[in-house]
Structures are given as structure tokens and as C-alpha cells.
Amino acid sequence: MKISNLSIKNNLFLAPMAGVTDRPFRMLCKSFGAGVAVSEMVTSNSLLYGSEKTKRRADHEGEVDPISVQIAGADPKMMADAAKYNKDNGAQIIDINMGCPAKKICNVMAGSALLKNEKLVHDIVHSVVNSVDIPVTLKIRTGWDKDNRNALKIAQIAEDAGIKALSIHGRTRACLYKGNAEYDTIASVKQSISIPVIANGDITSPEKAKYVLDYTQADAVMIGRAAQGRPWIFREIEYYLKTGKHLELPTVNEIHITTIKHVKDLYSFYGEERGLRVARKHISWYTKGLKNSAQFRASMNKIEGCGEQINAINFYFEELKEISAFIPYEELQITSKMVPA
């Protein structure tokens, strides 16, 4: 597919997730087949441009194109300035956040709170689009609550302003992540505008990805929480969409190698002390569902040294591989030894 003048290798997107889609995770998901990996949201407050967090979030060194950076805020001029700042720092796509349901974002009238104010939506998208010469995309929800689903109106505002693609999460802001995503609104939006539409929400398997694409006629799907601890979901979906068949699940050995590589990349990106703490949640996601993983995670959370963390990961996976090196991890029915604390 294409977003304006940018060719995307497929129609699979990694959703922006605060605290998750940092550079190491984006690069990992791209290596497993994600066509676009959107960054964590970057503040539009210029006073924070020099903060360590903002500088990390704007760090794209070594990342495969395209570089998509999400910006968040509620002031049109500040959002335009943030778009220019990130474009100057390597962004090839600017994504506007009007989808985040988090209270700390909505309390300052940013994220999905903006959906309540269509005039402000109009002013922000026009300001950002006019500030940069690269494609601008928009991420929204279906509306503020179930009685106020205005995605159709927002989509029309976005297209008229020059937004080049629209991502829609199939829940309202009030729904947060509860209940099931609905795709009727996404299908209606797709029928009403001509720019690419990316469907998001509860896409957890190759079959679900195909179903959502078929049902909504969307141009692409966006994967969020389902990629946590499972970055290979992108290659699984891509293969299934092309062949109608399932790709073999990753072996214990591949999960082991992926986990170690990811953890070491986190040490390098954040520094060892911070990287060790960030790594804990990813290690937890990689091992979810494996035998004795709860015990493993409990011991992992007590570890305070990077070398010890790596050793514990190696010990855990080597115990699994001694029993079966080739059975996909979801089929393992074994009992591993307790990882030493």
C-alpha cells in the first residue's frame, strides 16, 4: 500500500503504545514483517524536547524506513511545531494522537478527548498538515462514548484537511480496552472517504486479521497488544493473507534467541539500570503460557543485575529445550526447574 508518496511493503502496522513501542521494539517488529511501526507518543510541549524521555522517543538511529512518529497535544500551534521538530529529526510520517484513552492524556484534553471538540480537531489537523511536507496520518477511536460515535465526521474533517491515512480503534474512549472492538463503524468510515483506512482493535490472530480486512474493507490492520511478547505475529499474518495457510509457530529456540536479543537491545538503548527494569515486562510477555512461567517471572522481578537477568533467561529456556527443541512453545507440556534467584 501507499501513504501519499511513501510505499509500504505490506498492510501490517504496529500500533503506538506508550512504554512499549520504543526503538528496540519497533525494529524487532519490523524485522518480523511489520510494514510500519508507529512510535510512542511524543509530547508537543517544546519545554520537554530536551528531556531524556522525549529524546529517547525521538531516537530512530538504525531504524528501517518508514519512520512514523506520533505526536500528542491539544494546541494547534504546539502540535505544528512538534511535527516540524520531529520531521527535522528524521520522521517520514507524522501521526496525530486522537485515540489514547488514558486519563492523564484526556485530562489535558489531548488524545481521544479531542473527539469531543470537532472544531479543535479541525484546527489541529489543518495546522499540522500545513506545517510539514511529509505525510500526516491520524489515529482515532469511534467516538467519545457509545452515544457519541462521531468517527464519520472526524474522518471527513481529516480527509478535507489533507490527512493521508486514518487509523481507527474499534472502541470509544469510554470503552477504554473493555468489551469487544466493533468494526461496523470502521466499515462505514471506509465507505465514506478515499484515503487509506487502517483497522485496529482485538486483532490477535491471522484469521482475525483476514476477517477484519474482509468485513471492513480497510486497507490495512494495526496490531497492538497482540504483538507484546509475540512480534512474529506480523509474519504469521502476512503468510496467512498470502497463502491461506498457517506458518509454523516459533520454536523454543527462536523465542529464546529473540528474548535475549531484545533484552540486550534494551540495555543498550536505555542503559543497564533502566534497561533491566524495562526488560522485565517483555520477558514476562515472551514466557506467558509456558510451564512454570509464573515462578520464573516472580524470580525475574527480584533480579537487579543485567548479567544475572541474562543468565536466568538462558537457564529457563535451556531447561525447556532439553525436553523439546522443536515443538512450538504453545504446545509444550513440560515442567521446567525453578530458575535460580
Q: For position 259, which CATH number holds?
A: 1.10.1200.80
Q: How confident is the model at residue 102 (pLDDT cuts 50, 70, 90)?
A: low
Same domain flag for 198 and 312 = no
Same domain flag for 127 and 152 = yes
The tens digit of pLDDT for each residue in 189-206 reads 999 999 999 999 999 999
Residues 281 and 270: their CA atoms lie apart, in Å, by: 15
DSSP 138: E
Output the pTM of the full model. 0.90
Locate 136 and state its grid cell: 500526516
Locate 43 and state its grid cell: 509530547
Instruction: Report if residue 336 sits inside a domain.
Output: no
Report the CATH number at residue 111: 3.20.20.70
* For range 109-136, the mean pLDDT: 92
For the chain, the domain total comes to 2
Same domain flag for 131 and 266 = no
Give the pLDDT score at 335.
39
**What amino acid positions are annotated as catalytic residues?**
100
pLDDT above 50: residue 223: yes
* For range 65-88, the mean pLDDT: 94
Residue 190 belongs to what domain range?
A: 2-243
Residue where a domain stops, chosen among 210, 226, 243? 243
User: Which of these ranges, 1-10, 104-113, 126-135, 210-219, has the smallest mean pLDDT?
Assistant: 104-113
Q: Which residue has the higher pLDDT, 10 or 53?
A: 10
Torsion angle of C-alpha atoms 153, 156, 160, 163, degrees rounded to 10: 110
* For range 102-127, the mean pLDDT: 81
Give the pLDDT score at 333.
45
Give the pLDDT score at 105.
66
Give the pLDDT score at 144.
82
Locate 258 and state its grid cell: 529473540
User: In the chain, how many H helices and how many E strands?
Assistant: 13, 10
Q: Which residue has the higher pLDDT, 87 or 105?
A: 87
Residues 212 and 68: their CA atoms lie apart, in Å, by: 23
Tell me which residue of 89, 92, 54, 52 sits closest to 73, measured CA to CA. Answer: 54
Give the pLDDT score at 32.
98
DSSP 332: -
Residue where a domain stops, chosen among 243, 265, 280? 243
Cα dihedral 329, 334, 337, 341 sign: positive
Give the pLDDT score at 177.
84
What is 60-78 written as a DSSP string?
Answer: -TTPPSP-EEEEE-S-HHH
Mean pLDDT for the chain overall:
89
Q: What are phi and psi of 84, to 5 degrees?
A: -65, -40
Angle made by CA atoms 278, 136, 102, in degrees to the nearest 5: 40
Locate 77 and state its grid cell: 500551534
Locate 16 and state its grid cell: 503506538
Same domain flag for 188 and 123 = yes
* CB neighbours of residue 146 within 10 Å: 13
Residues 167 and 185: their CA atoms lie apart, in Å, by: 12
Residues 337 and 183: their CA atoms lie apart, in Å, by: 44
The crossing angle, in degrees rounded to 10, of helices 233-243 and 206-216 is: 60
Same domain flag for 286 and 140 = no
- Specify the long-range contacts of residues 307-314, CB closer than 8 Å, at least 24 apart: 309/263, 309/276, 309/279, 309/283, 310/260, 310/263, 310/264, 312/339, 312/340, 313/256, 313/259, 313/260, 313/263, 313/283, 314/256, 314/260
Give the pLDDT score at 66.
96
Give the pLDDT score at 216.
98
Same domain flag for 220 and 265 = no
In sequence order, what are the beta bridge partners of 197? 166
* CB neighbours of residue 18 within 10 Å: 16
Same domain flag for 56 and 153 = yes
The tens digit of pLDDT for each residue in 21-75 reads 999 999 999 999 999 999 998 877 754 566 777 778 778 899 999 999 999 999 9
Same domain flag for 209 and 69 = yes
Same domain flag for 52 and 171 = yes
* For range 307-327, the mean pLDDT: 83
- Per the omega criterion (within 30 degrees of 0), is the bond before 135 cis? no
Locate 215 and state its grid cell: 468485513
Residues 33 and 10: their CA atoms lie apart, in Å, by: 8
The tens digit of pLDDT for each residue in 273-309 reads 999 999 999 999 999 888 778 889 889 989 999 999 9
Q: How confident is the model at residue 99 (pLDDT cuts 50, 70, 90)?
A: confident
Instruction: Report if residue 16 sits inside a domain.
Output: yes
- The separation between CA 20 and the C-alpha centre of its own chain, rounded to angstroms, equals 7
pLDDT above 50: residue 336: no
DSSP 22: S
Polymer length of the chain: 341
Residues 264 and 251: their CA atoms lie apart, in Å, by: 20
